[in-house]
């Protein structure tokens, strides 16, 4: 049966994440599908943006704290950090971009958090002071934010290119909503500066981060969808209609 | 609207039809250039300030298996899908094109293309506007077998889906999504527009999401619900689910009606209020938190732990407690908004 574009993307994502070469079926689809070739070319730009991020430097104290957090959650931590690997597959890169950000945020999220009700036995001696916690949160948030901004800049560069598949009004809407989420992030950060251990502020911050990641994922997915068929022409057609 | 009975549309009318565009790729097992029956019309001189308009309507019927997957891809225009009896897909296409004069509108209309490809177990319908200056809208109206699976993707236009019992995935970028009478896995999404689902009972998952728009579910039963928006409100009323995650960043969140025994519910907003309007028939454990808002509960909770602001307003910042047997778990959190737990006296139908 002929592979559909959706099936292609799902397969490519699975294979790409493992760094496996496209198989014959996937290549056959690419050979016959202008849309998916266009998507591949488009997302390669995202890959470039993602590569420009460079390796994510993990704070020296992050791994012990991550291990500790995993231990509290009953999860056995891996022995060492998995190396960052960029595959040649655009979908994998896009996914890795998101996962990198997500992992970074998770480290940020789990690291400085002190469980409500106090520390567990045995960890009190290692517990950082309140001022250290604040400094740690700020430091790691700034680092995560920097990666965010680079990622967003890369996405925007692709989305606002002359032949980008997204309608300007749609892109404006996405930007407005990213600002809404940014406001939530700013609110939560401000609250955490005042009350670093406040659970609502912590959850709100990372919920906002997750939403932002989700919106970026949606943006990528939307671009993919718009590439199906003659989307470039469609995008221009929509622009033309909107200006009428 | 459909202006001719479907029974009137037969394959023999293909010869009389106007050609709409290129033939679908020959490699496909079956390919049609719709329509077999075409009606042209001059609707000038103006429509919506876009200049003279040309309209063309066409119809086609396809015989499919009951569990076929119907996919619709559209750029500008509305898509309406209704589940019905039998094993036929009845497709109506209404193309509209605009130009500075009638001749240009006609050229635009001729450039508006629709491809329909039929494979085993799959029917694909796609509009293909091709040029940079096209001013075209294409509306699709379909009647599909009730058990069919449905995938609809649209760039600009409203989606309406009724009575489809298979899996339904429907997304539009600019426009609303409205659906009812669904029974399978449901995934509805809009970027700019409201998402509404009502009177549906799914044994699977139901997801209704928007970026900039409201999300409303009414009378929806499902194994799990996921509803979210960034800018807009989310309302889930008079339904039932074992799991529900309901979120907004900038709007209010409301859950109205009953809970399910052993269910887990998570309602979150950053800037909006959260209202739980419960009938009190099912016990639950409540964990409600806010940073800048207040928390009030009309339901009497036991084992209450509460935290209040230290200022003169003494707002309640956290309220944890149990109602009844506590079988369900309800986690509620708003950063800037307030939380209200209200006992409903009569759930509105």
Task: Work out the pLDDT band at B75, boundaries 50, 70, 90.
Answer: confident
Query: What is the value of ipTM here, to two decimals?
Result: 0.73
Cβ atoms within 10 Å of B125's Cβ, excluding its own: 25
Question: Residue B146 pLDDT more than 80?
Answer: yes
Looking at the complex, does the CB of residue B128 fall below 8 Å from at least one CB of chain A? yes
Nearest residue, CB atoms, A233 vs list B126, B129, B212: B129
Angstroms from A235 CA to nearest CA on chain B: 8
Question: Residue A214 pLDDT more than 80?
Answer: no
**Angle at Cα A143 formed by Cα A142 and Cα A149, nearest 5°?**
85
**A59-63, B157-161, B266-270, B301-305: segment of lowest average pLDDT:** A59-63
Residue A207 has a pLDDT of 85
Judge: B132–A237 Cβ closer than 8 Å, yes or no: yes
Q: Which residue has the higher pLDDT, A109 or B144?
A: B144
Q: Which of B148, B187, B184 is nearest to B171 (CA)?
A: B187
* 3-class state of residue B234 by DSSP: strand
Find which of A241, A242, A243 to mutate to test the B interface (most B CBs within 10 Å of its CB).
A241
DSSP string, B42-75: E--S-STTS-SEEEEEEEEEEE--TT-EEEEEEE
Judge: A167–B247 Cβ closer than 8 Å, yes or no: no
Residue A81 has a pLDDT of 36
Residue A43 has a pLDDT of 55
Judge: B119–A222 Cβ closer than 8 Å, yes or no: no
Residue B28 has a pLDDT of 35
Residue written as token pair 């068929």: A229
DSSP H or E segment with residue B172: strand B168-174
Judge: A237–B136 Cβ closer than 8 Å, yes or no: yes
Residue A157 has a pLDDT of 63
Question: Residue A10 pLDDT more than 60?
Answer: yes
Find which of A4, A7, A117, A177 to mutate to test the B interface (most B CBs within 10 Å of its CB).
A177
Cβ neighbours of B249 in A, within 8 Å: 177, 180-181, 184, 208, 211
Closest-approach residue (CA) in chain B for A210: B249
Distances (CA, A) of A80 to A58, A102, A159: 12, 19, 37
Cβ atoms within 10 Å of B342's Cβ, excluding its own: 15
Task: Work out the pLDDT band at A202, boundaries 50, 70, 90.
Answer: confident
**Residue-wise pLDDT tens digits, A167-195:** 777 778 888 888 899 899 899 888 888 88
For chain B, what is the largest distance between any 2 Cα atoms, rounded to a whole number of angstroms?
82
Structure-token pair, residue A40: 């591949």
Judge: B155–A180 Cβ closer than 8 Å, yes or no: no
Angstroms from A2 CA to nearest CA on chain B: 8
Task: Work out the pLDDT band at A83, boundaries 50, 70, 90.
Answer: very low
How far does chain A reach from its first CA to its final CA, in angstroms? 42
Q: How far apart are CA B324 and CA B284, in angstroms?
A: 7
Q: How far apart are CA B218 and CA B240, in angstroms?
A: 10
Structure-token pair, residue B209: 């999401």
Q: How far apart are CA B317 and CA B314, in angstroms?
A: 9
Structure-token pair, residue B132: 């940079």
Cβ neighbours of A228 in B, within 8 Å: 73, 153
Cβ neighbours of B149 in A, within 8 Å: none
Judge: B132–A233 Cβ closer than 8 Å, yes or no: yes
Q: Which of A184, A6, A53 is nearest to B335 (CA)?
A: A184
Q: Which of A114-118, B135-139, B333-337 has the highest mean pLDDT?
A: B333-337
Question: Residue A111 pLDDT more than 50?
Answer: no
Find which of A237, A238, A242, A244 to mutate to test the B interface (most B CBs within 10 Å of its CB).
A237
Q: How far apart are CA B250 and CA B290, in angstroms?
A: 15
Cβ neighbours of A183 in B, within 8 Å: 271
Distances (CA, A) of A113 to A66, A211, B245: 11, 20, 24
Distances (CA, A) of B237 to A94, B5, B261, B275: 37, 38, 17, 11
Portion 6-45 of B in contact with A at CB < 8 A: 25, 27-29
Closest-approach residue (CA) in chain B for A241: B135
Question: Residue A15 pLDDT more than 60?
Answer: no
Question: Residue B72 pLDDT more than 60?
Answer: yes
Looking at the complex, does the CB of residue B212 fall below 8 Å from at least one CB of chain A? yes
Angstroms from B28 CA to nearest CA on chain A: 8
Q: How far apart are CA A30 and CA B144, in angstroms?
A: 31
Instruction: Tell me if B64 sits within 8 A of B116, measured CB to CB.
Output: no
Question: Residue B250 pLDDT more than 90?
Answer: yes
Portion 319-338 of B in contact with A at CB < 8 A: 333, 335-336
Cβ neighbours of B73 in A, within 8 Å: 228-229
One-letter-per-residue 3-state SS of chain A: CCCCHHHHHHHHHHHHHCCCCCCHHHHHHHHHCHHHHHHHHHHHHHHHHHHCCCCCCCCCCHHHHHHHHHHHCCCCCCCCCCCCCCCCCHHHHHHHHHHHHHHHHHHHHHCCCCCCCCCCCCCHHHCCCHHHHHHHHHHHHHHHHHHHHHHHHHHHHHHCCCCCCCCHHHHHHHHHHHHHHHHHHHHHHHHHHHCCCCHHHHHHHHHHHHHHHHHHHHHHHHHHHHCCCCHHHHHHHHHHHHHC
Nearest residue, CB atoms, A203 vs list B128, B250, B333: B333
Q: Is pTM, for the whole model, over 0.80? A: no
**Residue-wise pLDDT tens digits, B76-135:** 899 999 999 999 999 999 998 888 888 888 888 888 889 999 998 999 999 875 555 567
Number of residues that this document lists for chain A: 244
Judge: B75–A234 Cβ closer than 8 Å, yes or no: yes
**Residue-wise pLDDT tens digits, B193-227:** 999 999 999 999 999 999 999 999 999 999 999 99
Cβ neighbours of B211 in A, within 8 Å: 173-174, 177, 215, 218
Angstroms from A18 CA to nearest CA on chain B: 28
Q: How far apart are CA B62 and CA B64, in angstroms?
A: 6
A10 HSE (CA, 13 A, CB side) = 5
Residue written as token pair 């609303």: B176
Nearest residue, CB atoms, A211 vs list B50, B171, B230: B230
Cβ neighbours of A206 in B, within 8 Å: none
Residue B99 has a pLDDT of 82
Instruction: Tell me if B156 sits within 8 A of B139, measured CB to CB.
Output: no
Q: Which residues contact B94 (CB under 8 A, 6 or more apart)?
A: B55, B56, B57, B77, B138, B139, B141
* 3-class state of residue B106 by DSSP: helix
Judge: A241–B50 Cβ closer than 8 Å, yes or no: yes
Judge: A207–B317 Cβ closer than 8 Å, yes or no: no
Domains of chain B, by residue range, sit at: 1-146, 262-349
Q: Which of B293, B295, B288 is nearest to B331 (CA)?
A: B288
Q: How far apart are CA B160 and CA B137, in angstroms?
A: 16
DSSP H or E segment with residue B225: strand B215-229
Instruction: Tell me if A229 sits within 8 A of B76, measured CB to CB.
Output: no
Cβ neighbours of A237 in B, within 8 Å: 75-76, 129, 131-136
Instruction: Tell me if B299 sits within 8 A of B280, measured CB to CB.
Output: yes
């Amino acid at each position: 049966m002929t592979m559909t574009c959706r099936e292609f993307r799902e397969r490519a994502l699975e294979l790409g994440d493992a760094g496996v070469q496209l198989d014959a079926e996937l290549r056959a689809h690419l050979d016959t599908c202008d849309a998916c070739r266009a998507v591949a070319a488009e997302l390669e730009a995202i890959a470039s943006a993602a590569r420009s991020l460079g390796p994510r430097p993990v704070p020296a104290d992050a791994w012990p704290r991550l291990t500790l957090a995993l231990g509290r959650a009953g999860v056995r931590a891996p022995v060492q950090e998995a190396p960052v690997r960029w595959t040649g597959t655009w979908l994998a890169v896009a996914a890795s971009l998101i996962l990198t950000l997500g992992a970074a945020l998770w480290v940020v999220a789990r690291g400085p958090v002190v469980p409500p009700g106090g520390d567990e036995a045995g960890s009190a001696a290692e517990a950082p002071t309140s001022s250290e916690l604040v400094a740690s949160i700020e430091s790691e948030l700034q680092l995560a934010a920097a990666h965010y901004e680079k990622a967003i800049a890369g996405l925007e560069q692709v989305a606002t290119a002359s032949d980008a598949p997204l309608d300007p009004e749609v892109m404006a809407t996405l930007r407005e909503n990213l600002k809404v989420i940014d406001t939530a992030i700013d609110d939560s950060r401000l609250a955490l500066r005042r009350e670093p251990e406040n659970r609502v502020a912590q959850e709100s911050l990372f919920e906002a981060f997750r939403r932002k990641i989700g919106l970026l994922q949606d943006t990528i997915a939307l671009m993919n969808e718009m590439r199906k068929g003659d989307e470039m022409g469609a995008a221009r057609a929509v622009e033309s209609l909107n200006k009428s | 609207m459909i202006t001719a009975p479907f029974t009137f549309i037969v394959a023999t009318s293909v010869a009389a039809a106007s050609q709409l565009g290129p033939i679908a790729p020959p490699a496909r097992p079956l390919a049609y250039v719709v329509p077999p029956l075409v009606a042209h019309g001059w609707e000038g001189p103006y429509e919506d300030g876009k200049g003279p308009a040309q309209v063309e309507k066409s119809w086609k019927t396809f015989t499919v298996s009951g569990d076929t997957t119907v996919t619709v891809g559209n750029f500008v225009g509305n898509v309406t899908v209704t589940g019905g009896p039998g094993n036929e897909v009845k497709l109506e296409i209404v193309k509209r094109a605009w130009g500075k004069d009638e001749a240009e509108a006609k050229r635009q209309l001729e450039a508006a293309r629709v491809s329909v490809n039929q494979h085993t177990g799959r029917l694909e319908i796609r509009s293909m506007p091709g040029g940079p200056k096209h001013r075209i809208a294409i509306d699709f109206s379909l009647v599909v077998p009730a058990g069919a699976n449905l995938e609809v993707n649209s760039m600009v236009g409203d989606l309406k889906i009724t009575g489809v019992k298979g899996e339904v995935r429907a997304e539009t970028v600019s426009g609303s999504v409205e659906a009812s009478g669904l029974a399978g896995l449901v995934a509805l999404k809009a970027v700019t527009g409201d998402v509404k689902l009502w009177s549906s009972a799914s044994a699977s998952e139901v997801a209704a999401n928007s970026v900039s728009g409201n999300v409303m579910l009414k009378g929806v039963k499902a194994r799990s619900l996921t509803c979210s928006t960034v800018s807009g409100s989310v309302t889930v009323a008079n339904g039932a689910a074992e799991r529900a995650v309901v979120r907004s960043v900038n709007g209010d969140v409301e859950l109205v009606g009953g809970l399910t025994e052993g269910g887990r519910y998570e309602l979150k907003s950053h800037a909006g209020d959260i209202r739980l309007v419960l009938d009190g028939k099912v016990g639950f454990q409540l964990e409600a938190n806010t940073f800048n808002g207040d928390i009030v509960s009309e339901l009497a909770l036991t084992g209450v732990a509460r935290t209040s602001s230290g200022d003169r307003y003494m707002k309640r910042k956290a309220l944890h407690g149990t109602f009844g047997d506590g079988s369900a778990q309800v986690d509620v959190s708003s950063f800037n908004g307030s939380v209200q737990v209200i006992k409903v006296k009569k759930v509105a139908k």
